[in-house]
Amino acid sequence: MIEVKNIKKSFDGVEILKGISTTFEKGKTSLVIGQSGSGKTVFLKSLLGLFTPEEGSIFFDGKEYEKLSTAEKRHLRTEMGMVFQGSALFDSMTVSENVMFPLRMFTNQSVSEMQDRVDFVLKRVNLVDAHHKFPAETSGGMQKRVAIARAIVMNPKYLFCDEPNSGLDPKTAIVIDNLIQEITDEYNITTVINTHDMNSVMEIGEKIVFLKDGYKAWEGTNKEIFKTNNESVSDFVYSSDLFKKVRQVYLRELEG
């Protein structure tokens, strides 16, 4: 579980995060949404420890991050998995080598032990025959799955994803969404996803935090977002005619 209590963050005198508080639970996919400039990226980087808030606190399973020792912070980072927007794979490494990289950096496992773990996570993301391919030889969807395999190879407690569906076609995006949710449930991970993808919001948004101008403007589930009267949320989520129609159908079914 991650607890965020009243965090504030500024750059060059401009306040970006303005007292955000929320909780992300284990075993749930939590989505952070909002327009560009709403503070999503700064918020995610604050959770990762890349930015230090001027005010407020972030707790990981009850332990306040800023009160941890250097060694404890280093250990906590090994418990975090990250899926970057562009996958961030090493072009000169094979799929297997990319996934093994965190194990080489942060463990003392033998090559055999590392390879067993790599084989396991690649099988888990349905890439059993891709070990010796290079990223340039794989599709965008495969690269995302490699990135997810690398993110979970250390068996993390916390998984962070930055626009995991960016650049993917709708069908592949659904596959990635389902994979992230399955892994979250299966390993009881605390998962936080920054996204603009409204399909993700509707499909896997077990908790949704909506940021606007650095504030938490709304939070709830993908069921509750259909019924919200929050005008800012409605304007953002239902900006397209398609989603407006979907919402109308859903509300009529509820009334029926």
pLDDT in tens, 51-89: 999 999 999 999 999 999 999 999 999 999 999 988 899
| More confident position, 229 or 132 | 132
Give per-residue pLDDT as tens, 4-50.
Answer: 999 999 999 999 999 999 999 999 999 999 988 899 999 999 999 99
Give the pLDDT of residue 240.
66
Q: What are the residues facing 55 on neighbouring strands?
A: 8
Round to whole Å and give the CA distance between 145 and 96. 12
Could you give phi then psi for residue 32, rounded to 5 degrees?
A: -110, 120
Give me the chain's average pLDDT, please: 92
d(Cα 175, Cα 123) in Å, to the nearest integer?
A: 15
Amino acid in position 86: G
Domains and CATH numbers, the chain: 2-229 (3.40.50.300)
Cα dist from 93 to 84, 96, 97, 118, whole Å: 17, 8, 6, 14
Residue 10, number of CB atoms within 10 A of its CB: 15
**Mean pLDDT, to the nearest integer, of 176-182?**
94
Residues 6+ apart with CB under 8 A from 25: 1, 190, 207
DSSP code for 48 = T
pLDDT at 73: 94
At a CB cut-off of 8 Å and minimum separation 6, what does 201 contact? 31, 33, 195, 208, 222, 225, 237
pTM for the complete prediction? 0.91
- Rounded CA separation 167/72 (Å): 36
Q: How far, in Å, are 146, 165, 168, 178, 244 from residue 86 at the CA level?
A: 12, 9, 11, 19, 30
Q: Decide if pLDDT at 256 tops 90.
A: no
| Amino acid type, 151 | A
Please provide the DSSP assignment of 113-142 as one string. Answer: HHHHHHHHHHHHTT-TT-TT--GGGS-HHH
Burial class (CB within 10 angstroms; exposed 0-12, middle 13-18, buried 19+) of 230: middle
Distance CA 227, CA 82 (A): 32
